[in-house]
A = this chain, B = another copy of it.
Amino acid sequence: MNVFILYAHPEPQSLNGSLKDFAVATLTDLGHSVAVSDLYAMGWKATADGDDFPVRQNPDRLHYPRESASAYTGGTQPAAITAEQNKLLWADAVILQFPLWWYSMPAIMKGWFERVYAYGFAYGVGEHGGERWGDRFGEGTLLGRRALVSTTIGGREPQYTRGGVNGSLFDVLWPIQHGTLYYPGMAVLDPFVVYRADSLTPERWHAITDQYRTRLETLFTADPIPFRRQNGGHYDGQQVLKDGLGGGETGLRMHLLQPGEPPEHPLGRS
């Protein structure tokens, strides 16, 4: 299978760099083909702006989504953006490797999504009308692919549990896992996380790689996070979860399928 690793860390000798190298070696040993985008090494342009559109529909006023749609469908995107889109299309699984900075991905990776996730490619896909708000959250261009967040965190695990002062990791990663990876259709696996990333010993490194190897071995077999599908029948015409669903959760976990709930519609029917 094809695995695309999107990697962001300024220091090759970092824990993130080592985890990226470990994943490349392990996945290659497993017989997979691996592609890496090393955003810092590539000098990736982090900022979404008018320079992303060499041919402008409206040179007087930049509307980023409209120019994005026009460039994507018209074939006038910069080659650097098309190349990254092609890696996503080539991939059977996508791994994001990054340090959690201010409870999110590094800016250079955020800017990758802003520029590579073109209108018509990752959003603005499918019918928008009636009760249907596009092919997203369980449908979309990247349907059939898997995604894994592999991240390092300075803090300790209890602080990221339900009740932990930082918010549960599931909730903290919601904009990334649900809003960015699941949005265009990827099935998202539970994240692989190294806590206390600044106090690594050789013993911990061995334990971490043992755990990560298992996650890489099960990349194509593990059950993904059971996010509901937008067009699966569990949301109403306003895209709000229907009464009686959610298993008593009052936060973001209500968007996970719960035991005993009516099944979703088959894919393709809304």
Task: Report chain B residues within 8 Å CB of A114.
Answer: 101-102, 106-107
Query: What class of interface size applies to chain A in its complex with B?
Result: 35 or more
Asked if B102 contacts A156 (CB within 8 A), the reply is no
Partner of A171 from the list B111, B156, B174 (CB cut-off 8 Å) is B174
Q: Which of A232-258 contact B (CB under 8 A)?
A: 235, 238-241, 246, 248-255
Interface of A, secondary structure class, is loop
Residue of B nearest to A175 (CB): B103
Q: Give how many copies assemble into the complex.
A: 2
Asked if residues A159 and B251 are in contact (CB atoms below 8 Å), the reply is no
Interface of chain A residues 209 through 241 with chain B (CB within 8 A): 230, 235, 238-241
Residues of A99-142 whose CB lies within 8 A of B? 101-104, 106-108, 110-111, 113-114, 117, 133, 137
B156, A238: Cβ atoms under 8 Å?
yes
Asked if B61 and A13 sit within 8 Å, CB to CB, the answer is yes
Contacts of A255 in B (CB 8 A): 165, 167
Chain B residues, CB < 8 A from A154: 65
Does A47 sit at the interface, judged by CB under 8 A?
yes
CA distance A121 to B118 in the complex (A): 37
Mask of A40-58 contacts with B, CB within 8 angstroms, 1/0: 1000101111100000000
Give 22 A-B contacts (CB < 8 Å), ordered by A residue: A10-B48, A13-B61, A14-B62, A14-B63, A46-B111, A47-B108, A65-B154, A102-B175, A102-B183, A103-B174, A104-B179, A158-B239, A162-B250, A163-B240, A164-B239, A165-B239, A167-B179, A172-B175, A174-B174, A251-B253, A251-B254, A252-B252
